[in-house]
Amino acid sequence: MVERFETEFSDQLTQIQTGSQERKALILNNLDRSEGELVAQLNSLKTDVQTQREKIRQNLEKVEARFADQLADFQSSAEEQKALSLQKLTQLEAEITAQLNTLQSDAQAQKDSILQKLSEVSPQFLADSFAADVQQTLQHLTEQLAILQASQPELFYTATDYIQQANALSSTDPAAAIALYDKAIALGPNDPALWMNRGMALEALKRSSEALAAYEQALKLQPDNAAAWYHQGILLREMKQYDGAIAALDKAVELHPEDAKAWLNRGISFSRIKNPEVALESFDKALEIHADYPEAWVNRGVVLGSLQRPEEAFVAFDRATQFQPEDAVAWLNRALSLVELERYPEAIASLEKVTQLKPDSHKAWDTKGYVQMQLKRDEEAIASFNRALKIKPDYASAYYNKACCYATQGEADLALESLQRAIDLNPKYRKEAKVDPVFDELVGDDWFIELMEGR
């Protein structure tokens, strides 16, 4: 029975030792992991050692109990067995004690070894331990990232990337630019310049209400953005919201007093609401900044003409043609001011310049015909009127002037035919014909009477 007891106990010790060796190997292998894992394993080992020590204590108590039971049995046995049993028991007790001491020593040695290894762990050690795994993982992720970036590049775009692409497209494909600006806004909506660029792209597409909203958003983010006030003013004027346009342009020139374009458009807005004096002040301010600003000279001339100041108007238009010789509008207005001054030969020269620069200007051909008629060049005048009507068949002014030219030649039927076309296109010419002395010879004509009575 003692031998069986010894065998059972030895098996238990072997199992304990084997379990301890397995835990030791596991702990040592796990040292290749992170410092956090090592610390966790140490705590686990401490718990396991304490647990094993408790189990050993419990087993020892059981052994002692069984030993006491066996001892009682041995005492009732024969004396010759007693001596042998006592000897074996003494030997067994010594072996058990030695094995327990060895187990405790091994456990303590394992604990001390782990603590020593932990104390030697450094950032460099950890870096070296994980370098290979990290490098392999990083390489794998980099490869996957490259594949994703090649197939879905837009996933990696920043707001700056979208803005750069949109800016490159804004002049050639504003619709595509707007789509890119919208993507940039989704990533970063608080950039006033981004809203400005979006507004200008919308403005290029004549989407005025949306452009206006974009400029308003830019102004919310940056109230002192003079450019946003300027563009807002231009749009409001085009939408015939003149009060709002003037208020916006006032703000633009307040923030940027040296902006000649803002002063020019402020003047144009005032001229739209029939305030020529303030308009002139704005044009003059623009010309103080840029004396060679042809558009400001043209608009100044138009306002002066409306104020019945033809000499000053001519000077303004003449300056415009000097600064921009290829501007057909400036040449046409120069010619009109000369017509007002009855300087017909000079007017013809300006009109020829217009038709050279812009051959399809029906107004230039009509005006040229009128001047030729004043110079008694009736055949040339009729040819000019016909040229105007070829360009614009529903141009009532050309029909009326053609009727006047035929009337001076005594061509009553041709005159009345053209007059009827003019009145059909624009009834205002009925009133003009009633008081125009060129038709005095036709006042008794039934056709003329019908035209004047509106029958």
Nearest CA to 254 out of 273, 272, 230, 278 is that of 230
Q: Output the pLDDT for position 228.
A: 98
Angle at 229 between CA 228 and CA 234, to 5 degrees: 95
Q: Which helix (H) or strand (E) holds 128?
A: helix 123-151
Q: Output the pLDDT for position 199.
A: 94
Q: Does position 23 have pLDDT exceeding 60, yes or no?
A: no
Q: Does position 16 have pLDDT exceeding 80, yes or no?
A: no
Q: Output the pLDDT for position 9.
A: 37
Q: Does position 309 have pLDDT exceeding 70, yes or no?
A: yes
Q: Using pLDDT thresholds of 50, 70 and 90, give the confidence band for residue 164.
A: confident
Q: Does position 81 have pLDDT exceeding 90, yes or no?
A: no
Q: Output the pLDDT for position 28.
A: 47
The C-alpha torsion from 199 through 202 and 204 to 206, rounded to 10°, is: -120
Sign of the dihedral defined by the CA atoms of residues 291, 294, 299, 301, in that order: positive
Counting Cβ atoms within 10 Å, is residue 312 exposed (0-12), middle (13-18) or buried (19+)?
A: middle
Q: Say if residues 299 and 283 touch (Cβ distance below 8 Å).
A: yes
Q: Name the range with the highest mean pLDDT among 20-24, 121-125, 177-181, 286-290.
A: 286-290
Distance, CA of 249 to CA of 319 (rounded, Å): 26
Distance, CA of 428 to CA of 439 (rounded, Å): 16
Mean pLDDT computed over 321-343:
97
Distance, CA of 181 to CA of 172 (rounded, Å): 15
Distance, CA of 252 to CA of 250 (rounded, Å): 5
Q: Output the pLDDT for position 409.
A: 94
Q: Say if residues 181 and 198 touch (Cβ distance below 8 Å).
A: yes
CB atoms inside a 10 Å sphere around CB 265: 25
Q: Using pLDDT thresholds of 50, 70 and 90, give the confidence band for residue 5.
A: very low
Q: Output the pLDDT for position 31.
A: 44
Q: Output the pLDDT for position 218.
A: 96
Q: Output the pLDDT for position 135.
A: 65
| Comparison of pLDDT for 94 and 374, the residue scoring more | 374
Q: Does position 336 have pLDDT exceeding 70, yes or no?
A: yes
- Return the SS3 of 176: helix
Distance, CA of 221 to CA of 140 (rounded, Å): 43
pTM of the predicted structure, to 2 decimals: 0.64
Q: Using pLDDT thresholds of 50, 70 and 90, give the confidence band for residue 85.
A: very low
Q: Say if residues 287 and 300 touch (Cβ distance below 8 Å).
A: yes
pLDDT, one tens digit per residue, over 32-68 is 554 455 445 545 545 654 665 566 567 556 645 664 5
Q: Output the pLDDT for position 99.
A: 57
Q: Say if residues 391 and 423 touch (Cβ distance below 8 Å).
A: no
pLDDT, one tens digit per residue, over 168-227 is 877 889 899 889 888 888 888 899 999 999 999 999 999 999 999 999 999 999 999 999
